[in-house]
Chains A and B, each alone.
Chain A
């Protein structure tokens, strides 16, 4: 698939309510600019993010996915992000194993005061994904024959 110059990736960021979402809010309050193609979805805790959400996002047409939560030890629910860490260490590798480019999936710890880190991460991910072009892997629009061509 040719990459059009005007390609703007769709990136979904699952942000934990207590840290990253507040961090993104702070970025807004401080008038920091981050790419508008990062769509924030608020979740109660990064532990809420079912790995299936990531697959589903790719299937429905996202080009990149971010999962962001509190730093280990800072979880509002004490232990949620420790489970997240284990889960996504495995999921990240499994996605790569299935052919998803590692640049398309990112997990980051961003605290409520790290507005700049949120901005930088969003910009970085957006830039990487832009370079990679639209995601065809796991996209549901592509039928068996079409996607076989797109994949090769």
Chain B
């Protein structure tokens, strides 16, 4: 572990000293042993602050949106999930590839629930790869298990399940803020005058936020699991987006987002032979 960490520090230091990158985003220590925090290092001497352990969990890609027009490149440690998020942002025209320098760090799995469904440990997209790629985990057979569990309920049970889930939603919008697919300049939920989203704390408004959020990101979800990780109420909100992915998989065959930066997402294109139930 420490050898890899040393490689990361050296690479970051070199990038900063050569002036290739303006700053590097990575993980740093906190005062807790089992936590890391995203850090931004500008000074080559500070590159020793980067850490790499099983608690380097946060996805870093979304920080790129806070600095869309940097003077120099932004260095970014890139695991599988970050590279898919970056593909997402590139496809959505949010960042420019030449503005980022991606330091590939194949991931060996972290101590987080969000890594249990991981299928892409190695970065798909990188400028330099620091060590040999890891073996990808076997395709998780249980990818849509919990969706199937909910589908097995009766409609009323499903309503109560989701209703009770969203009753405890505090509408902090953390799931939106962390999601690499949620990159609108202004979110519909913040538009107070259009009336799309009610602001009351009621089951109805909470559920409508939940379903709408799921639908907005559903076909572009890279299943990184950040939304569930940041949810302060621990709501199983990926159950909604995964339902959409499951349906897309069933309707048109294998579908996965963020594997490249060019292919159009599912709801942004159409096929003349799409399945039709509306005749």
Contact = CB atoms under 8 A, between A and B. Distances in A.
Contact of A86 (B159, B207, B208, B266): B266
B272 A55 contact: no
Nearest to A69: B278
B274 A86 contact: yes
Interface string A69-111: 0001100000100110111111111111111110000011100
B202 A140 contact: yes
B211 interface: yes
Contact of B159 (A91, A92, A109, A137): A137
Interface stretch (B55-63, B116-124, B132-140, B214-222): B214-222
Interface size range of chain A in the complex = 35 or more
A119 interface: no
- Of B271, B276, B279, most buried by chain A (CB within 10 Å of CB) is B276
B270 A51 contact: no
A34 interface: no
Contacts, number: 127
A89 B215 contact: no
Contacts of A99: 155-163
A139 B204 contact: yes
B247 A144 contact: no
A86 B204 CA distance: 26
Interface string A40-82: 0000000000011001100100000000000011000001001
The secondary structure that dominates the B interface is helix
A30 interface: no
Interface in B162-207: 162-164, 167, 188, 196, 198, 200-205, 207
A94 B243 CA distance: 7
B212 interface: yes
Interface residues of B, number: 48
B151 interface: yes
Nearest to B168: A144
Contact of B207 (A72, A83, A98): A98
A94 B218 CA distance: 10
A72 B273 CA distance: 10
Contacts of B279: 108-109
Contacts of B274: 82, 85-86, 89
B213 to A, nearest CB: 11
Contacts of A72: 272, 276
Contact of A90 (B157, B204, B218): B218
A56 B163 CA distance: 16
A52 B188 CA distance: 11
A-B pairs, 10 with minimum CB distance? A99-B159, A82-B270, A99-B158, A107-B278, A140-B204, A151-B160, A93-B247, A55-B208, A144-B203, A147-B203
Interface of B: 147, 150-151, 155-164, 167, 188, 196, 198, 200-205, 207-208, 211-212, 214-215, 218-219, 240, 243-244, 247-248, 251, 266-267, 270-272, 274-279
